[in-house]
Amino acid sequence: MKEKYEAYLRIVEEVLDPTRRRSAKLCLTPFIYTKKFWLQMDRITRSYAKLLEFVFQEFPRSQKIQTVLEYPADLEKFINSLHIYERNLAAARIDIFLTADGFKMVESNCEIPGGNEESYFLEEQYLKIFHPEKLKIVPRMEIVYDTLMHHYGIQAEFFDLPKKEKLTIYLAQWQSEIDRILGEYNILMDFIRQKGHVCSVIDPNKIIIRNNRAFTPAGEEIDLIYRRFTADELPKFAQRKWQMAIEWDKARVAVVNPFCTKRVDSKNIMVLFKDESYEDVFPDYLQEDLKIVREIIPWTKKIKPSIVLPNGRSVNSREYLIKNRDNLVIKHANAYSSAAVFIGIDINPHKWKEVVEESLRGDWIVQELIELPEINIEYWEDDQIKTAKCIYNVNPYIYDGKLGGFLNRASTDRLTSFKSGEIAAVMPCFEEIGMK
């Protein structure tokens, strides 16, 4: 068996970690689910996608939606300048914990969720090397490819682009990230090439908009840009800042996910869905979907001078947040990758008071602390099997409005983060054939 573990490590390092910068441990413990579990998650993702698409369309017209999502003025101006299509959300991910009280969602990534290619490769190689019985994987790359083609078609019709059988497709990501995880991108790009298209990856700053079209520095016209960075990164890394996204949005090139997906990426979206005071925003035909999503979101509120508790009582926020530190989590509404997430029980009282004071300045939410499930995992390191008790979550991807697989993360820290946890791993996921 040792030979198989070593073979698994070699191929993962060769493809996913050629620069030896990957921090994830090589997990040997798969997450195995049933068909029933898949159908439950699929129902959630379909409902969530419907609600998000509704918000896309209603955002310009609904003062309530604009107020609860509450973007800074420059970001609001940017969001309102962008095209809105018939379908906008190509890819997203919901972060869910499997608690004793059922599924609990703590946030969603509605711009460009990562980790899918990594999970696909880990699962594919796990099956090839270990040959487990009665396990099957999700055809992740086929799902992503079909999603890209569908959304290309939507935008091609919108811009009246010529019909093509062979597209020139570029993944767009900052050069530093390309250098770090090129192996992951190659997995998808090779799949797209096998479908007969031209496909590569490029730093967004190198894309040239000329005559209302997109080109590479070599003059190759681009048909589809698969955006792999968030809009929040534009002020940090884009030479033309927000203007770069505006130029891409107006050019005759398909951009998936389009930049308008930032519109629903705020953590305030959970307040919009959970808080019953916003229920009248949603029409009757979405009430069942709203109920499904609302059931999995913990108590969540925008932090204002006063907060309404689940029992309907209004309390002073500063006093309540400080007093109930051990039961609460405070999050910045527009940060990502577990940045600006503070779990009260993990922070000393002095630091927590500082977080509370900062949150009262605006654009923060508070959630009740949920029970975080644990799992014992085995991983291969230093030529041996090691074990760790980890907190884990099961994060369903939404591709083209439905479930497209999972990203399962296990970590020794409560944020299931690869930045702060001493041990963190991606668990390969499989459906057990024949299990209902």
**In terms of Cα–Cα distance, which of 331, 354, 350 is closest to 342?**
331
Tell me if residue 366 falls in helix, strand or coil.
strand
Tell me which of 48-57, 68-77, 136-145, 326-335 is least confident: 68-77
pLDDT tens, position by position, 190-204: 999 999 999 999 999
**In terms of Cα–Cα distance, which of 69, 52, 84, 101 is closest to 154?**
84
Q: If you average pLDDT over every residue of the chain, what do you get?
A: 94
As a whole-number percent, the residues of the chain with pLDDT over 90 amount to 86
Residue 217 is predicted with a pLDDT of 98
- Per-residue pLDDT band for 415 (boundaries 50, 70, 90) equals confident
User: In terms of DSSP bridges, do strands 364-368 and 300-302 run parallel, antiparallel, or are they unpaired?
Assistant: antiparallel
pLDDT tens, position by position, 156-184: 999 999 889 899 999 999 999 999 999 99
Whether residue 420 is predicted with pLDDT greater than 60 in this model: the reply is no
pTM flag (> 0.85) = yes
Distance CA 175, CA 182 (A): 10
Residue 74 is predicted with a pLDDT of 80
Pair 400, 329: CB distance under 8 Å: no
Q: Is the dihedral of CA 202, 171, 396, 389 positive or negative?
A: negative
Multiple choice CATH, 2-267+373-432, 3.40.50.1760, 1.10.3720.10, 3.40.50.1480, 3.50.50.60:
3.40.50.1760
Q: How many CB atoms lie within 10 A of CB 413?
A: 18
Mean pLDDT of 290-294: 97
Whether residue 336 is predicted with pLDDT greater than 80 in this model: the reply is no
**In terms of Cα–Cα distance, which of 248, 259, 236, 280 is closest to 68?**
280
Residue 414 is predicted with a pLDDT of 82
Residue 80 is predicted with a pLDDT of 86
